Structures are given as C-alpha cells and as structure tokens.
Amino acid sequence: MSAPTHSPVTEPLPRPSGLVGFAADWASDQRTFKNVSWGKAMMWIFLLSDTFIFGCFLVAYMSARMSTAVPWPNPSEVFALHIGGSDVPLILIAIMTFVLISSSGTMAMAVNYGYRRDRRKTAALMLLTALFGATFVGMQAFEWTKLISEGVRPWGNPWGAAQFGSTFFMITGFHGTHVTIGVIFLLIIARKVWRGDFETGKRGFFTSRKGQYEIVEITGLYWHFVDLVWVFIFAFFYLW
C-alpha cells in the first residue's frame, strides 16, 4: 500500500466566505481564526471577558437603581459645573468623552502608520494617545475629588439613593483603572517603536521574543475597548 502523495502546495487554498466560511473555519481539527495571529485573537478573547465584567457592573447598577424606593440623584445636576455664573450640566463628562474619542482617533492613526513602518509618526501618535488618556484620568480624579468633597460616599450621599455612590465609584473606578493600565501599556510599546525594536529584532524584556508592528494594533484594540466601555457608561450612568 503506497503512502498518499501530497501535491506541493505553496500557498493556502482560498477560504470560502460568508456563512459557509464561518462553518468551515469552525469545523474540527484546524485553527479557527485563519487570518488573525494568536496575539490578536487572544486580545479579542480577553476583551470579550472584560465585556462581561463591565456588563455585570452595569447590570448591578441597573438592579440597584430599579429596586430602590428612594429617588435616584439626578446625574445632570450632580455632575454639573458652575461656569460663568450658571450651572452647565454634565460639562466635564462631555469634555472627558471628547478627549477619549480623540485618543481613539490618534490610536487608529498610530496603527496605520505602524504598518507603514513609520517609526516616528507611530510613536508620536501613541504618545499623544497616552497624553489624552492621562488627561482623562486627571479629569476623573478631579470629578472624584469634587464629589467626595460634596459628601458622596459608597454608603450615602446628600441627594438620594445610597446606591448612587457605590455604583459610581465602582464603575468609574474600574474604568479609570483600565485607562491607567492602557496609558502604561501605550508608553511601553511607544518606547519600543521609537527605539526601533521591531526593525532590529530586539527581544522583549518580558517574553524574550522578537516583536512585530502588530503589537501596535493589539494595543490599539485594548485602547479602543476602553473608549467603547466609556460610551456605555456615558449613556447608562450619566445620561439615563
């Protein structure tokens, strides 16, 4: 019995697209994500798990707000700032939203320049993204300070339902932590890009492996996710 002969294949066969492709990719005994590297796939799966974490927080907030018999404090008034003799509702939150969206814009452009191997522009745009992120965290620290000085605590506040403080500190605190970790992540990768690690094949300090420009896109995925979570927090916590 002769061994089956393999015809030499130099490039993979084209994959079917659409639903047929979906079924074919998920069929057994092969890797599922065909044109996505393991790094990108794992970041996506991490972000999926993070989605559930923030989903649980928002569901917890919804349950607390729906089940309390005490009136919920009006976010529009709580987060108003006194500017020019009148109270402007939610103005700081609106500015924070614009800052975070701008950081997402610069990050998307950094990914683009990364794949063009434009080291300077990539690093500069990533640093700008980190700067926007740090600005966001700074404004959040200001907001927390203001609310704490007005008497908001996790167990109570002057305006209504006690659950307001606990959900506020938990949700925005967790989101702010994510932004802070993102800023650190951005600074580390921007330094590598600036130094030219991905041209020289310098090995990373943690993994001892050579990096690629794809790490800029993976960092970008995380950063855009932080922006995405803020979209939901802005809608459900501040505007609702």
Partner 1 sequence: MTDVPAHTAVTEHQQHPISLYLLVWGLLFVLSACSYLVDYVGLQGYLRWSLILIFMMLKAGLIVAVFMHMAWERLALIYAILLPPLLVLVFVALMVSESHYVLFSRLTFFGAAP
Residues 159-178 that bind partner 1 (CB under 8 A): 161-163
**């809608």: which residue's tokens?**
235
Terminal-to-terminal C-alpha distance of the chain: 73
In sequence order, which residues have a C-beta less than 8 Å from that of residue 83 and are 6 or more positions away? 91
- The number of C-alpha atoms within 13 Å of 164 and in the hemisphere containing its C-beta is 23
Distance of CA 162 to the CA centre of its chain: 29
Tally the C-alpha atoms within 13 A of residue 58's C-alpha that lie toward its C-beta: 18
What tokens does 117 get?
A: 């191997």
Pick the closer one to partner 1 by CB: 181 or 235: 235
3-state secondary structure of 86: strand
Q: Kindly determine how many residues on this chain lie close enough to bind partner 1 according to the rule CB under 8 A.
A: 76
Instruction: Compute the distance between CA of residue 212 and CA of residue 117 in angstroms, rounded to an integer.
Output: 10
What part of residues 199-238 is at the interface with partner 1 (CB under 8 A)?
214, 217, 220-221, 224-225, 227-228, 231-232, 234-235, 238
Q: Out of 38, 84, 207, 209, name the contact with partner 1 by CB under 8 A.
A: 38
Closest CB 41 distance from partner 1, rounded Å:
7
* Piece in contact with partner 1 (CB under 8 A), picked from 103-111, 132-140, 143-151, 194-202: 103-111
Give alpha helix (H) positions in 37-162. Answer: 38-67, 75-78, 91-115, 119-149
141 scored as a contact of partner 1 (CB under 8 A): no
**Contact between 76 and partner 1 (CB under 8 A)?**
yes
- Residue given tokens 């989101």 in the structure block: 175
41 near partner 1, judged by CB under 8 A: yes
Binding residue (CB under 8 A) for partner 1 from 72, 81, 92, 105: 105
Per CB under 8 A, 5 contacts partner 1: no
Of 146, 109, 130, 127, which is closest to residue 179 (Cα–Cα)?
130
118 binds partner 1 (CB under 8 A): no
Q: Specify the residue, 38 or 205, whose C-beta has the smaller distance to partner 1.
A: 38
Compare residues 31 and 205 and give the one whose CB is closer to partner 1: 31
CA dihedral 121, 126, 132, 138 (to 10 degrees): -140
Choices 20-28, 129-137, 143-151, 190-198 (CB under 8 A): range interacting with partner 1: 20-28
The only residue of 37, 42, 87, 199 in contact with partner 1, by rule CB under 8 A: 37
Q: Is 53 in the site for partner 1 (CB under 8 A)?
A: no
Q: For residues 77-96, which are near partner 1 according to CB under 8 A?
A: 89-90, 94
Q: Which is nearer to partner 1, 14 or 149 (by Cβ)?
A: 14
